[in-house]
A = this chain, B = another copy of it.
Amino acid sequence: MTGAFGHGEVSEIESAEASVPLELVDAWWRAANYLSVGQIYLIDDALLERPLEPGDIKPRLLGHWGTSPGLSFVYAHLNRVIVERGTPTLYVCGPGHGGPAMVANTWLDGTYSELFPAVSADGAGMQRLFRQFSFPGGIPSHAAPETPGSINEGGELGYSLMHAFGAALDNPGLVVACVIGDGEAETGPLNASWRAHAFLNPLTDGAVLPILHLNGFKIASPTLLARIPETELVDFLRGNGYEPMLVTGGFDGEDPMLVHERMASAMDVAFDRFEQIRADAADGAFTEEAPHWPCIVLRTPKGWTGPGIVDGVQVEGTFHSHQVPLEGVRENPEHLALLEAWLRSYRPDELFDSEGRPIAELDALRPRGDLRMSANPRANGGIERPLRLPPTEEFAVESTDADGTRGATGEATRVFGSWLAALLRDNPDDVRLFGPDEVLSNRLGAVFDVTERAWAGELHPLDEHLSRDGRVIEALSEHLMQGLLEGYLLTGRHGLITSYEAFIHIVDSMFNQHAKWLESAKEVPWRGDVASLNYLLSSHVWRQDHNGFSHQDPGFLNVVVNKQAEIVRVYLPPDANTLLATMRHVFGTRNRVNVVVAGKQPQQQWLSHDEAVAHVAAGLGVWAWAGNEPGFDAADPAASVPDVVIACAGDVPTIEAVAAAQLLRDRMPHLAVRLVNIVDLMRLQDPSHHPHGLRDAQFDAIFTPGVPVIFAFHGYASLVHELAYPRASHEQLHVRGFIEKGTTTTPFDMLHLNDLDRYRLALDVLHRVPGLAERPGVAEIADEWHAAREAARAYAYEHGEDPEWITGWRFRAG
């Protein structure tokens, strides 16, 4: 059955020969609806064993009824399909605040009581289930980490469909059903997700079943997609590559059994179609063209089966049913009566036995064990297999020139790219690379030696690095890339997202929500670990001189450090080997968000492979070779005290810091300069705020209180102050970072404009070391450096590039 099913043709679909009677599906649905209403309203008398009294009603009525009946309707129908076919299926719940329905169904599944034994599968458990909902110390009003079977929080909307596609990748045989609310369907990220089937391989990936649920309204107004002609809606979905099926019903009091019949037919067609697509692909059809995937449009009234008219206002089928259709139930006897009638309309005595257990007949609609959507191991955490992490030695670059001097040239991301290729090669089905078409421009092209970009669309003879089964996914949507990776990680696999640093702000809110998910998930005992979400931000602020101001923004780090310390890590590796060591480390971590910032341009290399590994393990350290500090002892940095510390974090600031130290060494050989490089930014924070924080004694041994610290920082200077403000030496910290002064210029001039070039740093030292500026000859040196700084700038403006002696600057050992 490969045709399209728009324009009301659904009623012509033949009924499947259902072995589960639809009456049972209806019973499940009524039970779930009863449990949803109960969660919103009841604190006592869960089973309606006596007429409702005001004291049975929660003092604060919270929750969202409007979307609940639709979500449970889909749940019941998916259970039928799973029971009949045995197809492993996930349920991604997109609509906001769908918590009552999702929790109700997992309780009916039995999973909830297994995972939360206090909420037992009987009347006492039901009472607890009701009480905990939107109650202090209880559960939120949307699907969340606490909800069994969930990989998508229904708080901030837009990410359900991308999570669904991410879950389907490399999960052949799995069906990910994704209910998209018509509110969520208005968001940008959701709209960017429709076409994600362009990366799906029907043989090696699972299938996604989008179920667009049009209940007509968002919070207080109609939704865009609910108010367009049906032909336009069908065009929209066909235009996104789907074969849509329309299931409409429940309006004007229509018997729900008729809607059950339509939905069951559509579900059967969809699941048949998935099997057909796989079979066709096995026969080679996919080499020719991409399949057309089915999707379902479910159009039912908002708040279906809820109160119709309340206080003269139509509630069912309008936005008035969005939250609690009946307000003030404790105070208003009429509303109390309406609530009781509403609850009894589901005929609870037919659904639950005298002890409050779901009736035995519902067993027939309950998939067994892990086939329950709420118990699917994919959805409840747990890493499928730890990554095989290739050793880094063979990928490391020389950090020294032929004469043994540090500062050989290398390109950090290119070096990492070779290791990343080995990682992809050694883990062929559970790690992926995601990016907004920047893999090549960020110089990670080595991955194309071992794999290609995934592409289910048309292939042309001149195409490069495109194939049906590539491991790299690229589309020009940071949202989509992040969302696919999140779905992939939350279902037990591993991955990396790359982006230009400035544009990763596009997913600030997605990062926030994922970090919050991880923060909450660690409080949920039955949720397994997941692999960390790893970012590699290249093409960073200091090398976007030529692209101009709009490409220059290091502020993602500020967003990141606001999340819980147990979750977030920020790394600023200063060269290729340090990037290698950092990335090998982060790929082995769990339950974190690791943000790594590293440039792609050729630049000086500082550390050998082994030095880099040790540096990443330490997180920061003194680079004695770059400084000029008599008597410095690496084993006991507190044994000597320099005149000044030059600290640096970030690859470009590190070059400038090392160069500044060299300027000072050349001209002021008696000045004791200590150079400190920070790769793990959270070392700056104190250990009470972050687990990576250095203890004060260690911090002070390195930064030596009382001594001025000139700090060259990759991001906004205030971030260093924010992290280090409780330190004893904080008053001595003089930080230079990006000050939001950009233009179209050269790398050196970019630093000049932001007062972070080597001359500025060296001049800062002259200014900050007490008494230094007054010493004989120092004023002349200052003048000379000022002049050199301005001359370098003038050269850049005249010639369009930095003077040779800037870009070609070479480190000399002291």
In angstroms, Cα B560 to Cα A224, docked, is 31
A140-B744, A745-B136 given as contacts; is B236 within 8 A of A183 (CB)? no
A 449-462 binary contact with B (CB < 8 Å = 1; else 0): 00001010110101
A232-B239, A239-B237 given as contacts; is B508 within 8 A of A457 (CB)? no
Is residue A666 within 8 Å, beta carbon to beta carbon, of the partner chain? no
Is residue A10 within 8 Å, beta carbon to beta carbon, of the partner chain? no
In angstroms, Cα B117 to Cα A443, docked, is 41
**What chain B residues lie within 8 Å of A232 (beta carbons)?**
238-239, 241
Interface residues in A131-180 by Cβ distance below 8 A to B read 134-142, 144, 153, 155-158
- CB-nearest residue of chain B to A565: B740
B505 & A140 in contact (Cβ 8 Å cutoff)? no
**What chain B residues lie within 8 Å of A730 (beta carbons)?**
725
**What chain B residues lie within 8 Å of A745 (beta carbons)?**
136-137
B134 & A546 in contact (Cβ 8 Å cutoff)? yes
Is residue A548 within 8 Å, beta carbon to beta carbon, of the partner chain? yes
Is residue A476 within 8 Å, beta carbon to beta carbon, of the partner chain? yes
Interface residues in A723-758 by Cβ distance below 8 A to B read 723, 725, 730, 740, 743-746, 749
Interface residues in A395-439 by Cβ distance below 8 A to B read 437-439
A 202-240 binary contact with B (CB < 8 Å = 1; else 0): 000000000000000011111110011000111111111
Is residue A687 within 8 Å, beta carbon to beta carbon, of the partner chain? no
**What chain B residues lie within 8 Å of A475 (beta carbons)?**
186, 224
Is residue A506 within 8 Å, beta carbon to beta carbon, of the partner chain? yes
In angstroms, Cα B740 to Cα A140, docked, is 16
Give the shortest distance, in Å, between A409 (CB) and chain B (any CB). 18
A135-B744, A219-B440 given as contacts; is B562 within 8 A of A716 (CB)? yes
Give the shortest distance, in Å, between A555 (CB) and chain B (any CB). 5
**What chain B residues lie within 8 Å of A220 (beta carbons)?**
437, 439-441, 464
Give the shortest distance, in Å, between A666 (CB) and chain B (any CB). 28
Which of A189-197, A574-582, A609-617, A697-705 is the contact stretch?
A189-197
Which of A19-27, A262-270, A381-389, A511-519 is the contact stretch?
A511-519
In angstroms, Cα B238 to Cα A694, docked, is 60
In angstroms, Cα B198 to Cα A519, docked, is 39
Which of A54-62, A626-634, A768-776, A778-786 is the contact stretch?
A54-62
Is residue A463 within 8 Å, beta carbon to beta carbon, of the partner chain? yes
**What chain B residues lie within 8 Å of A516 (beta carbons)?**
549-550, 553
Q: Within the complex, which residue of B184, B513, B725 is in contact with A550, where a contact is CB–CB below 8 Å?
A: B513
Give the shortest distance, in Å, between A721 (CB) and chain B (any CB). 5
**What chain B residues lie within 8 Å of A502 (beta carbons)?**
156, 512
Is residue A801 within 8 Å, beta carbon to beta carbon, of the partner chain? yes
Give the shortest distance, in Å, between A116 (CB) and chain B (any CB). 15
Is residue A625 within 8 Å, beta carbon to beta carbon, of the partner chain? no
In angstroms, Cα B239 to Cα A453, docked, is 29
Instruction: Given contacts A141-B547, A221-B455, list 12 more A-B pairs with CB under 8 A.
Output: A141-B546, A141-B548, A155-B548, A183-B476, A184-B476, A186-B477, A191-B192, A221-B464, A221-B465, A235-B235, A516-B550, A722-B722
Could you list some 18 contacts between A and B, CB below 8 A?
A136-B746, A137-B743, A141-B547, A141-B548, A155-B550, A158-B188, A158-B506, A186-B195, A186-B476, A188-B189, A188-B192, A188-B477, A227-B457, A228-B458, A512-B555, A519-B740, A559-B559, A718-B722
